[in-house]
Chains A and B, each alone.
Chain A
Amino acid sequence: MKISFLKLILISLVAFALIIFFLALNIEKRYSTEKIIGKSVDNFELEFLNNDKVFKKQDLANDEFHLINIWASWCLPCRKEHPILMTLKKENKLKIIGMNFKDKKLNANNFLRELGNPYDFSLSDKDGTQSILFGVYGIPESILIDKKHKIIRKFIGPLNVKDSEDILQLVNEK
């Protein structure tokens, strides 16, 4: 059977359109943290929550893991994850940094007084711009950093028991 040139072009165009649709359906269409994992932490500068001193990337200890927890007193899920952070506080090899996000100092301190302070360093990101360096788009989020200041895990949403176990495993295996 002889296929005409016209039909050949038509079939090619339909096949081409189907391939494009198929590829488009498989494209990742959501926020992804893939690129941030394995990268070294960007230089950052954050004021302490209760004084004007500044905490920089250079202030991260070289022989310890750090968990940066982004939180606020107005954030309800932050309340939910707080007991997990209080448990993680007991781990000696891990330093927890609290990055208070777009919050009032008074409210933040009241929150910590009421529920306990799990943070080794309480910092403040008043306008939220420093959180962009960590790819944050909502709170709470937590970022686990290894001894070489490389981001090894990112937890979106409130930490749960499983996350806590994962963090402890990572901290103790390396």
Chain B
Amino acid sequence: MKNKFLIIFFCIFFVEPSSADINKLETKIFKNLRCIVCQGQSIAESNSDFAQTIKIVVRDKIDQGDNEKEIYEFLAEKYGEWIIYKPKFNYINSLLWFSPYIVLVFGGLLIFKYLKRGKQ
């Protein structure tokens, strides 16, 4: 009885990613890839020849066991960073990543000072 319970437990928690998980990952990657031959469309939205080929390549890479990061790196190597919507965090674009927070802090300070002055 105990063994059966353990088998069921392992089956539930240690199974391979289901096809639903893989589909979810596929969709996530397609949405984050720019269709470079289309205007303002992602690979997920586009039906162009290029997008169809990229979809096949991404599916093949997932089947081979590549993770999301490895797939982005592979495509960025071939087509440049431009193909990925979400920019990679590095020294050059760190300003882009931090700018919303900087604006938030300084903007908040600005509003606070403005309101304080209004009260006085």
Contacts and interface: CB of A to CB of B under 8 A. Distances in A.
Interface of A: 5-6, 9-10, 12-13, 16-17, 19-20, 23, 28-36, 39, 102, 127-129, 131-135, 137-138
Contacts of B82: 28-32
Given A20-B95, A128-B53, A129-B57, A5 B113 contact: yes
B56 A127 contact: yes
Given A135-B78, A137-B36, A6 B50 contact: no
Interface centre among A28, A32, A128, A137 (most CB of B within 10 A): A137
Contacts of A138: 37, 50
A126 to B, nearest CB: 11
B89 to A, nearest CB: 15
A10 B56 contact: no
A135 B82 CA distance: 13
Given A9-B113, A16-B102, A20-B95, A133 B78 contact: yes
Nearest to A10: B110
Contacts, number: 75
B103 A132 contact: no
A133 B60 CA distance: 13
A13 B114 contact: no
Interface string B97-113: 00100110011011001
Given A35-B80, A137-B79, A6 B113 contact: yes
Contacts of B54: 132
Contacts of A5: 113
